[in-house]
């Protein structure tokens, strides 16, 4: 039975339509994924820079001095530092690499936990400051004020310095919390560094082929391909 040229043309058109739609869908998906990578990459770089400038420098200075007993910086944590991640969470599942998906979720979860730790640290600092004020306001200083009123300024200043040296001894729970905070800090830094590097590598892999041009090539060659089959 001889197959007409019209049949070949019909099958060819169906093939071009199917492949073309598939290519367009794939292109749209790739563009969504690339846009997501780019947005996460830019957000994470901003987080890294801000964190290093506002927090990392303090950790570095403290660690250079020895054991960190308490992180003494009360941080303002009122912003949404994960805006891009939160607004695009529904697209994370479209990322082809399960390893990269895990890295993204792990890093952002690590940051969320770290923020909670810093909020707890803020409360801890407020409590320590309260205890310090209570210590300074003990009745013994009332006597020192009397000395000062009697022009014994040198003695007053000496006694005041000695009294303020006797600050609150850090409770073991405070030391343990600070140690865990320090570990969370370094864990987040490592995870963030790796994810930024991975996203940069993934972005370099995208090489777009114009889908319209691809479909045109398919359309012009499809009849010949069918005839060869």
Q: Where in the chain are the domains?
A: 5-228
State the maximum Cα–Cα separation within the chain, in Å, rounded to a whole number: 124
Q: What is the pTM of this model?
A: 0.67
- Over residues 110-135, the pLDDT tens digits come to 999 999 999 999 999 888 888 776 65
CB 88 within 8 A of CB 141: no
Q: Please, are residues 111 and 188 in contact by the beta-carbon 8 Å criterion?
A: yes
pLDDT at residue 40 greater than cutoff 90: yes
Using an 8 Å Cβ cutoff, are 160 and 146 in contact?
Answer: no
Phi-psi region of 121 (alpha: psi -120 to 50; beta: other; left: phi over 0): alpha
**CA 210 remoteness from chain centre:** 34
pLDDT in tens, 153-178: 444 444 444 444 444 466 788 889 99
């Amino acid at each position: 039975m001889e197959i007409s040229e019209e049949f070949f043309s019909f099958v060819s058109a169906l093939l071009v339509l199917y492949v073309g739609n598939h290519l367009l869908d794939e292109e749209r998906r790739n563009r969504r994924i690339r846009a997501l990578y780019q947005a996460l990459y830019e957000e994470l770089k901003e987080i890294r820079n801000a964190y290093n400038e506002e927090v990392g420098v303090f950790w570095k200075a403290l660690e250079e001095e020895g054991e960190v007993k308490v992180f003494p910086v009360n941080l303002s944590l009122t912003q949404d530092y994960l805006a891009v991640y939160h607004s695009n969470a529904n697209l994370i599942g479209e990322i082809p690499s399960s390893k990269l998906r895990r890295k993204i979720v792990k890093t952002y979860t690590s940051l969320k936990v770290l923020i909670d730790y810093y909020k707890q640290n803020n409360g801890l600092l407020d409590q320590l400051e309260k205890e310090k004020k209570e210590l300074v306001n003990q009745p013994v200083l009332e006597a020192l004020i009397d000395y000062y009123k009697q022009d014994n300024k040198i003695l007053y200043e000496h006694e005041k310095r000695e009294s303020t040296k006797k600050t609150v001894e850090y409770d073991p729970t405070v030391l343990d919390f600070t140690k865990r905070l320090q570990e969370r800090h370094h864990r987040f830094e490592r995870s963030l560094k790796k994810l930024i590097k991975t996203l940069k590598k993934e972005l370099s892999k995208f090489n777009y082929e114009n889908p319209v041009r691809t479909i045109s090539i398919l359309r012009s060659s499809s009849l010949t391909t069918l005839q060869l089959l």
